[in-house]
């Protein structure tokens, strides 16, 4: 942006932040969901606003109060999130994909409430894959042709690799510009206020930030601004 002094690289940039979890309906009263609180994404949205960015939030289900001052669209399902992003992303300088997207959804949404029926039986719920939304955006906008794409990942290490190994593989597989790794090995991150993020960029950059979600968001954004936005029109 033009206002380098006040807001660094984010001033005047249109940034879409997705946050919260998706809910995938089973019937009129039930859904498959996840424990995403929306806190992390909201911290990014607020920090970006403070840096002078023109922020648009797309929010799934959250356990926090959303910011009335930030224009916000609500979505429920992964497919709705995909559709909302298809509209918003072409106008954005960056997409910060903090939403927890369900990998699967029920193959059918029953029109009426699923009944117990009988004494002991239980239904088998067939699932189908949801689209990988951020990977789809990366395909639609190859690097350098559209908004900068930032994914998030919560990984645990195992005998096959470290959390960073898995995050690096995900960055590559999805074709995004950067990935923010939440190390969840010790039960951090979900719903808590203290946080550590390691950021990996497609051009091999690496930096980390630790502290409250607000502090982490600010530091990560400073670094991402330099790494991704500097010099782009």
223 binds, among Ca ion, ligand CTP, none (CB under 5 to 8 A by kind): none
190 annotated as ligand-binding: no
Does residue 195 carry a catalytic annotation?
Answer: no
**Residue pair 89/95 in contact by the 8 Å Cβ criterion:** yes
> What three-state secondary structure class fits 148?
strand
Q: How far is the CB of 103 from Ca ion (least distance, A)?
A: 4
193 annotated as ligand-binding: no
Q: Please list the alpha-helical segments (H only) found in the chain.
A: 4-7, 39-50, 78-88, 133-140, 163-174, 213-224
Q: Choose among 103, 168, 163, 164: nearest CA to 130.
A: 103
- Closest CB to ligand CTP among residues 7, 36: 36
**Residue pair 41/19 in contact by the 8 Å Cβ criterion:** yes
- Closest CB to ligand CTP among residues 1, 60: 60
Cα 53 from chain centre = 18
Binding site for ligand CTP (CB under 6 A): 78, 97, 99, 101, 103, 130, 132-134, 151-153, 170
131 annotated as ligand-binding: yes
> Angle of helix 133-140 relative to helix 163-174, nearest 10 degrees?
50
- Closest CB to ligand CTP among residues 101, 202: 101
Of the residues 34, 130, 182, 195, which is catalytic? 34
103 binds Ca ion (CB under 5 A): yes
44 annotated as ligand-binding: no
Q: What residues are labeled active site?
A: 34
């Amino acid at each position: 942006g033009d206002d380098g002094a006040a807001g660094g690289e984010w001033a005047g940039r249109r940034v879409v932040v997705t946050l919260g979890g998706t809910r995938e309906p089973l019937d009129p009263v039930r859904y498959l969901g996840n424990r995403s609180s929306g806190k992390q994404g909201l911290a990014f949205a607020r920090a970006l606003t403070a840096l002078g960015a023109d922020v648009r939030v797309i929010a799934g289900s959250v356990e926090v109060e959303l910011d009335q001052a930030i224009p916000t669209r609500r979505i429920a399902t992964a497919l709705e999130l995909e559709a909302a992003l298809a509209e918003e992303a072409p106008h954005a300088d960056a997409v910060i994909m903090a939403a927890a997207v369900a990998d699967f959804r029920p193959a059918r949404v029953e029109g009426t409430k699923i009944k117990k029926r009988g004494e002991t039986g239980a239904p088998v719920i067939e699932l189908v894959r949801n689209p990988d939304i951020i990977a789809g955006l990366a395909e639609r906008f190859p690097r350098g042709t559209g908004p900068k794409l930032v994914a998030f990942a919560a990984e645990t290490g195992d005998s096959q690799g470290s959390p960073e190994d898995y995050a690096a593989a995900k960055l590559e597989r999805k074709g995004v510009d950067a990935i923010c790794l939440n190390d969840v090995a010790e039960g951090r991150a979900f719903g808590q206020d203290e946080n550590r993020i390691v950021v990996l960029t497609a051009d091999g950059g690496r930096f980390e930030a630790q502290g409250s979600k607000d502090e982490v968001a600010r530091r990560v954004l400073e670094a991402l601004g330099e790494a991704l936005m500097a010099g782009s029109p």
